[in-house]
Amino acid sequence: MPTEDRVCFTWEEYARHVREYWRGVAEFDGFDSEDIRSPVVLTGLFHYDCQSGRHYPEPLLVKRFALLGLHRFNILQGTSFELAALLKFNKTMNLTSSYYITLLAHDPSLQKTFQVRVDEREYGSLDLTVAIARPKKDQNEAAETTKEPFVPHFCCSAVSDGVFQGPLPDWPSEDALRHDRNRFYELEISEWQATDWISLYLKLLILATDRGMFVQTGLPQVQILEVVIETEEENEKPPDKRLNARRAHVYITFTGLPKSPRLVEIGEHVERKAIIRRVIDASGYLTLLGKFWSGKDTDQQRSMTLPSGEQAESSKKRPRLS
């Protein structure tokens, strides 16, 4: 009887193919590596073309990852690039993944292709690092590569100390918010409306916490009510320096999220709280760590309660997030 042809190779041959594959990927820092063939049974990179019209995984999250990379670049370079289009991305096969995103961005005077790398540290929560956010070099320029050895998934987090390392803090007391003005700064509505990153951080927390929940429905129309920023510099004034501080805790009060597996109450009217830490270290790594806050650790198991059915009253009209 005819037998099916099989490709057989030794462990040494397989290990050599693996090394060659990752060596090729490393030459591009994980970007533009879709033409590098991976050996059989190798956990390599998935490749997705965002311009092909075909479905790709978690489009809402990938778009926010791209925006976060531009946000990091703009903070460090003092620019104002905005996302024009997602072009493609590579993704590791881990449950917690690394994303190598190629995108098109523009500011008022020019348009550039950017490369952004985002590493997730934990699945089902906001714990990630932007390790690369840079313009892509064209064919006439020398390729820009990272100085560190290439690690496919999660090379490291931004380094910090003091209150900006370890677990996230509890929600500040009303007394601290009222009297410790050097430590806490409550933003005027016009201030946080003038920034894109506060709503971006909140959207990332929602999407990372409830993975895949909003693929069909899109993001809920979340409404920010109040934003407080905690920075380490007691005399960090004027306010724009607090907004652009490399290390900060952002405390956000909002409504509009109907339900979440991590939250006790359900209903769009419920005022919810989010705590998000931003750290940008000397290497330029940007790490975000975030959680919902309901008076206790939102990562603990708890039962779902029924909504009261009463609508929360508000005397002020606030803009919603799209």
Task: Choose the CATH number for 11-135 among 3.40.50.11890, 3.40.50.300, 3.10.450.10, 1.20.1300.10.
Answer: 3.10.450.10
pLDDT of 258 strictly over 90: no
The span from the CA of 95 to the CA of 213, in Å, is: 16
> What amino acid occupies position 222?
V
121-144 core/surface letters (b: 16 or more CB in 10 A; e: else): beeebbbbbbbbbbbbeeeeeeee
> What amino acid occupies position 255?
T
The Cβ-side half-sphere exposure at 22, using a 13 Å CA radius, reads 14
Q: Which whole number is the average pLDDT over 193-202?
A: 93
Residues constituting the chain: 322
Higher-pLDDT residue of 1, 157: 157
> 67-71, 142-146, 214-218 — which one is most confidently predicted on average?
67-71
For the chain, which residues make up each domain, given as ranges? 11-135, 162-293
The span from the CA of 69 to the CA of 132, in Å, is: 7
Per the DSSP assignment, residues forming a β-bridge with 133 are: 116
The span from the CA of 103 to the CA of 108, in Å, is: 17
pLDDT tens digits, one per residue of 61-113: 999 999 999 999 999 999 999 999 999 999 998 888 999 999 999 998 899 99
pLDDT of 262 strictly over 70: no
Q: Given pLDDT bands bounded at 50, 70 and 90, which one contains residue 1?
A: very low
pLDDT of 302 strictly over 50: no
Q: Compute CA 268 distance to the chain's CA centroid, rounded to the nearest angstrom.
A: 24
SS3 at position 105: strand
- Could you tell me the two tokens for 45? 């990179």
